[in-house]
Amino acid sequence: MGYYSNVAFAIEGKREDMITMLVTYRTTYSDPVEATTALNACCFAESGEFVTLIYKNDCTKWYDGFPDVRALTELFEIFQNAEDETEGKFNGKFIRIGEDNADVDEEYFGQDPHDMLTFERSIYMDLSYDETIPLEKLCVPTPPISSLT
């Protein structure tokens, strides 16, 4: 079965800078098919002159040796490295949440990436019941069945 993670990253920049980086990634990545697959796994949102690249996958096997993981990691890193060289062009944040509560990876770059993505762990209950009752009502003795007739 394996170990699963929830993974997301977002990268924001001006439209023309984003397109330049995406073309650079697509033409320089060692496996063009994997690069195309990685780009197709993303979606893009526009707001004015800015574009945000978004990747999100719940319940995925995120192992460094997997070709799709390498391609997506390289996509994030090419923007991260460009930001190191051209301070201020891009903001990016990556979060991976593993099955184990302590297994969380976060990476970010840029001037203000901190609110792009956040994570929380929550509990969802799927229980069926008609009503809730207080402990006192639960503990009241039930009359014997013979006394009910």
Looking at the domain assignment, is residue 135 inside a domain?
A: no
3-class SS shares of the chain: helix, strand, coil, % to 5:
35, 30, 40
Domain hosting residue 37, numbered range: 5-122
Asked if residue 114 belongs to a domain, the reply is yes
If one counts every other C-beta atom within 10 angstroms of the C-beta of residue 77, the result is 15
Q: Is residue 141 part of a domain?
A: no
- The answer to whether position 80 is within a domain reads yes
134 located within any domain: no
pTM of the model: 0.79
- Residue 90 lies inside a defined structural domain of this protein: yes
Nearest Cα residue to 109 out of 9, 5, 21: 9
Q: With 60 as the cut, is the pLDDT of residue 1 above it? A: no
Rounded mean pLDDT, 130-141: 78
Q: Residue 48 domain-assigned?
A: yes
Q: Evaluate whether 97 touches 119 at the Cβ level (below 8 Å).
A: yes
Q: How far apart are CA 89 and CA 61, in angstroms?
A: 31
Average pLDDT over residues 26-49: 94
Mean pLDDT on 102-114: 89
Q: Is residue 91 part of a domain?
A: yes
Could you read off the pLDDT of 39-54 as tens digits, one per residue? 999 999 999 999 999 9
Domain count, the chain: 1
